């Protein structure tokens, strides 16, 4: 997320409203099942063979399978920090639930505070408290049948003060990313950050001791240069090597087997070739993603159609390679000075997600905060527009999800 208010938004974490299992999921017994075809060879039996981690935990394999199947009929709706970032800091239920009566189908979290240099893992430490909130959120989401995804706004390796390139010197920007590669001056530093990620993810467990699956998308929006891992600061080969190292270290060195790996540039591409220019390879990617705010920023149906064309590139590649396609971040931020766009959700976004026979498994909106929102609560001006969008035939909140962590019987 490149919004300059991001730092403020993230530092406005409110007290967690810990959400337990709700009755809205207790009666669900549906599982996704679809026989293989020549065009889609995926089966419950062979799903792991199409994944980055062929040794993934069974719930993680089921999530891969069910996300792929879900996209044939539905797009799951998600939001970053839905359980602890609210419009006007209102607290309570997620803003999506305040509006619709149901929680999101996807919960977005971040490893930023978890790996922060100031996190000393002591109970009175603010950063460690955020870590514990995030872990509680993930477990609560999993118990409800919600899908969990993590981004990582990793602070740069020099002073660890910021993830924005604009906050770094020219010399730092030119060396930071390649310094974390194997043999680089900061590779050990980076491995220690991954060690913390591995420890947290490996200890995400459900009530029966099973590993909770997560989606992880490292080094996102890399085609822009607002982050220190952006295109101006590393070559395509260096980017690929860093992504590959990250996956190999977590999967092979640390033995983490409850992750699906997502690849998500921003929206700068218009061709498959451009999209794949920094792609680390099919053996390293489960989810073919895109972050896209720009095409939805007051560009009307023209922008929505541009977004749809880019999503079709993802969808077509995902179909051909048995991957999952997703709109990994998007939104239009409404504030007291930036009014909502009429029918932004129900017409513009929905058309981008559904036109031209595309299959998009999930869409993630960025977080709400005191001063603005990406998803309206029940009192916001465009509340009805979101509610209409969420109830359309190809949209789903948590109440419309099948059992994502179980294979069909």
pLDDT tens per residue, range 226-237: 999 999 999 999
* Beta carbons within 10 angstroms of residue 270's beta carbon: 12
Can you tell me whether residue 202 is helix, strand or coil?
Answer: helix
The predicted structure's pLDDT at residue 15:
35
The two tokens of residue 204 are 């995400």
Whole-number CA gyration radius for the chain: 20
Q: Which residues are catalytic?
A: 221, 329
Q: Please list, in sequence order, all residues whose beta carbon lies within 8 angstroms of the beta carbon of residue 251, skipping any fewer than 6 positions away.
A: 52, 53, 257, 259
Segment (H or E) for 339: none
The dihedral formed by the CA atoms of 21, 27, 28 and 30, expressed in degrees to the nearest 10: 150
For residue 130, give Cα distances in angstroms to 10, 15, 37, 78, 404. 10, 9, 45, 20, 27
* Whole-number Å distance between alpha carbons of 194 and 390: 36
The two tokens of residue 391 are 């109830």
C-beta separation of 106 from 146 below 8 A: yes
The predicted structure's pLDDT at residue 214:
99
Give CB contacts under 8 A, 24+ apart, made by 40-44.
Answer: 40/319, 40/322, 41/322, 42/68, 42/69, 42/322, 44/407, 44/408
* Regions in the chain scoring below 50 on pLDDT: 4-29
Domains of the chain with CATH codes? 6-18+28-400 (3.20.20.80)
The pLDDT tens digits for 299-330 are 999 999 999 999 999 999 999 999 999 999 99
The predicted structure's pLDDT at residue 163:
98
The dihedral formed by the CA atoms of 62, 66, 67 and 68, expressed in degrees to the nearest 10: 110
For residue 78, give Cα distances in angstroms to 33, 321, 329. 23, 25, 9
Residue 383's nearest CA partner among 329, 328, 346 is 346
What is the pairing mode between strands 75-80 and 106-110?
parallel
């Amino acid at each position: 997320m490149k919004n300059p208010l991001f730092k403020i938004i993230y530092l406005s974490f409110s007290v967690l409203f810990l959400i337990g299992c709700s009755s809205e999921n207790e009666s669900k017994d549906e599982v996704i099942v679809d026989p293989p075809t020549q065009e889609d060879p995926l089966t419950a039996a062979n799903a792991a063979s199409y994944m980055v981690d062929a040794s993934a935990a069974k719930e993680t394999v089921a999530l891969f399978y069910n996300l792929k199947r879900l996209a044939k009929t539905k797009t799951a709706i998600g939001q970053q920090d839905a359980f602890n970032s609210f419009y006007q800091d209102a607290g309570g239920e997620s803003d999506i639930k305040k509006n619709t009566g149901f929680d999101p189908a996807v919960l977005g979290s971040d490893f930023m505070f978890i790996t922060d240099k100031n996190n000393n893992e002591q109970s009175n430490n603010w950063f460690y408290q955020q870590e514990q909130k995030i872990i509680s959120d993930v477990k609560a989401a999993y118990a409800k049948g919600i899908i969990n995804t993590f981004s990582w706004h990793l602070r740069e390796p020099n002073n660890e003060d910021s993830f924005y390139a604009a906050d770094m010197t020219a010399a730092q920007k030119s060396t930071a990313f390649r310094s974390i590669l194997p043999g680089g001056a900061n590779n050990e530093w980076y491995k220690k950050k991954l060690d913390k990620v591995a420890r947290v993810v490996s200890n995400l467990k459900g009530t029966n001791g099973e590993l909770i699956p997560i989606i992880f998308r490292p080094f996102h929006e890399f085609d822009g240069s607002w982050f220190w891992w952006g295109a101006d600061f590393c070559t395509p080969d260096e980017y690929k090597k860093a992504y590959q190292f990250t996956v190999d270290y977590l999967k092979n060195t640390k033995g983490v087997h409850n992750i699906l790996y997502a690849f998500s540039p921003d929206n700068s591409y218009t061709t498959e070739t451009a999209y794949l220019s920094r792609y680390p390879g099919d053996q390293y990617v489960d989810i073919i993603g895109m972050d896209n705010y720009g095409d939805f920023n007051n560009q009307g149906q023209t922008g929505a159609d541009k977004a749809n064309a880019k999503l079709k590139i993802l969808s077509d590649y995902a179909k051909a390679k048995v991957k999952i396609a997703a709109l990994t971040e998007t939104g239009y931020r409404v504030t007291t000075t930036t009014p909502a766009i009429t029918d932004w959700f129900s017409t513009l976004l929905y058309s981008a997600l559904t036109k031209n026979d595309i299959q998009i498994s999930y869409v993630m909106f960025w977080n709400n905060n005191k001063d603005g929102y990406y998803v309206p609560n029940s009192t916001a001006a465009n509340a009805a527009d979101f509610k209409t969008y969420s109830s359309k035939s190809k949209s789903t909140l948590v109440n419309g999800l099948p059992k994502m962590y179980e294979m069909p019987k």
